């Protein structure tokens, strides 16, 4: 994983030295750490209340007034396990 992040950072650095359009490297592994979805759809009590990625059967996850993630139900599989509203911020 460290080698992969190093290659990503080097690729972005090389791009930025030779192009007018600059790109910012964000080490997503560390940014998303502790914000992953809980893959179990059998035990709903296992939901990660601070997830940045939609879980099974949900969409539009956003931060509620308590700081925890709330979401809307969804049967559209295109929304499952993709960044939610918080994950896009």
Q: 60, 53 in Cβ contact below 8 A?
A: no
Does residue 63 share a domain with residue 78? yes
Number of domains observed in the structure of the chain: 2
Query: Would you report the helix, strand and coil content of the chain in percent, each value rounded to 5?
Result: 35, 15, 50
pTM, two decimal places: 0.63
62 pLDDT higher than 90: yes
- Same domain flag for 45 and 25: no
Tell me, yes or no, whether 58 and 79 share the same domain: yes
**Average of per-residue pLDDT across 44-70:** 89
Give the residue-averaged pLDDT of 18-47. Answer: 80
Task: Looking at the structure, tell me whether residues 5 and 39 fall in a common domain.
Answer: no
Task: Tell whether the model's pLDDT for residue 73 goes beyond 90.
Answer: yes
Question: Whats the size of the chain, residue-wise?
Answer: 89
* Structural domain of 54: 34-89
> Same structural domain for residues 82 and 60?
yes
Q: If you average pLDDT over every residue of the chain, what do you get? A: 87
Same-domain check for residues 78 and 53: yes
Query: Of 56, 49, 48, nearest to 75 (Cα)?
Result: 56
In this prediction, residue 70 carries a pLDDT of: 92
Residues 87 and 53 in one domain: yes
């Amino acid at each position: 994983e460290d080698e992969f992040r190093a290659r990503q950072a080097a690729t972005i650095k090389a791009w930025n030295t030779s192009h007018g359009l600059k790109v910012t490297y964000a080490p997503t592994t560390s940014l998303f750490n502790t914000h992953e979805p809980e893959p179990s759809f059998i035990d709903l009590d296992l939901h990660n209340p601070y997830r940045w990625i939609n879980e099974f059967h949900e969409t539009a996850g956003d931060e509620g007034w308590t700081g925890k993630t709330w979401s809307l139900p969804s049967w559209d599989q295109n929304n499952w396990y993709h960044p939610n509203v918080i994950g896009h911020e």
